[in-house]
Amino acid sequence: MRLLRDYPLDEFNTLRLPARAHYYVHATSERQVAQASDWARDTGTPLLLLGGGSNLVLAGDFPGAVLHLDLQGVQVEPRGGQQRLRVAAGENWPRLVEHCLEQGWHGLENLSLIPGSAGAAPVQNIGAYGVELAQRVRCVHGWHRDLSKFQTLSGADCRFGYRDSIFKGVLRDRFIITAVELELERRFRPVLDYPALGEALAEVSEPSARQVADAVIALRRERLPDPAQLPNAGSFFKNPVLAEADYRRLCEREQTDAIPRFPVSGGVVKVPAAWLLERAGWKGVRRGAAGTHTRQALVLVNHGGATGAEVLALAQEIRADIRRRFGIELELEPRVYGRDRR
């Protein structure tokens, strides 16, 4: 295990925020993962588990060690009509989806172009256009930091929820995912329930997997800034979930019945955070080098030279405004690390 000191993280977060880590370890094997974890425990060093850095905010320098999970490799095993894949944590997610499309292994089309690593995908149970990773996960392999041993968790053990899992709950920072096992199909069954996707393919009678993936990619490119061009961390806030009565009150307050709502279980509804932000005038707003995207207010962007503190100050201003205006508490989706330098 090679320990590097005072390491810059600017290239390792898609918001391109300036920050340094006291230590940095580049892990390419399970052995290095176990060693780094035990070293951190023995020395009392906080550990930041890093994949592609597309779902985190660096408020400032990280006073511990960054463990960059860069294990590579995909093992495949055909099983009847299915294809099992064991994907190492450091594999790039969008490249994996493309590889599966080329091989004729189906089920990930709607999750095309989501940035990041395969190892981080179960953490937030990545989802888009009506599909969630959980539908394809057989199990997750990793290093349990408290038990100091490798373990395999079944899909059920992972307690997947809406953009949520056990890795954000009791196993937060405790379980280092080293590989994910997926179960894909040889037969293609398109999932086109998501209105925008259904509309994009309305003219195609039996869309192929490639066509569905291309439609998803086109929709994403139309609406979302490419982090390589305009640094961002995707959606900054989760969609709030409201009781039916609160939703009604919101409609009365806003004097409209047109607030989009999507049913969740047990009489509660999901309201798009993007709708609230747009309604409150937060689209394309700028505070110094930090701002909200002109096409999707939910995405906070770094126009160049913003610090984590600036981005977080904008997020707090938005949260306060949404609370005041709608009585709704927005929750941050990306995780915040490091010390605010102010």
CA distances from 324 to 134, 252, 300 (A): 35, 16, 20
Q: Does 116 bind ligand FAD (CB under 6 A)?
A: yes
262: partner contacted, choices ligand NAP, ligand FAD, none (Cβ within 5-8 A by kind): ligand NAP
Q: Does 47 bind ligand FAD (CB under 6 A)?
A: no
Which position among 25, 50, 153, 271 is part of the footprint of ligand FAD (CB under 6 A)?
50
Q: How far apart are CA 20 and CA 201, in angstroms?
A: 45
CA distances from 141 to 76, 80, 82, 118, 144 (A): 15, 23, 20, 12, 9
Joined tokens for residue 252: 């009365």
Beta carbon of residue 267, minimum distance to ligand NAP (angstroms, whole number): 16
Q: Which is nearer to ligand NAP, 122 or 127 (CB)?
A: 127
In one letter, which amino acid is 127? G
Q: Which is nearer to ligand NAP, 61 or 333 (CB)?
A: 333
- Interface region with ligand NAP, contact rule CB under 6 A, candidates 70-78, 121-129, 180-188, 303-311: 121-129
- Interface region with ligand FAD, contact rule CB under 6 A, candidates 38-46, 50-58, 269-277, 314-322: 50-58
For 245, residues 6+ apart whose C-beta sits below 8 A from its C-beta are none
User: Which residue from 76, 163, 77, 62 is spatially nearest to 120, judged by alpha carbons?
Assistant: 163
In one letter, which amino acid is 17? L
> DSSP characters for 80-99?
TTEEEEEEETTSBHHHHHHH
196: partner contacted, choices ligand NAP, ligand FAD, none (Cβ within 5-8 A by kind): ligand NAP
Which residues contact ligand FAD by CB under 6 A?
14, 49-56, 69, 89, 114-117, 119-121, 123-124, 126-128, 163, 167, 176-177, 224, 227, 232-234, 335
Which residues contact ligand NAP by CB under 6 A?
127-129, 193-196, 223-224, 234-235, 239, 262, 272, 274, 296, 333
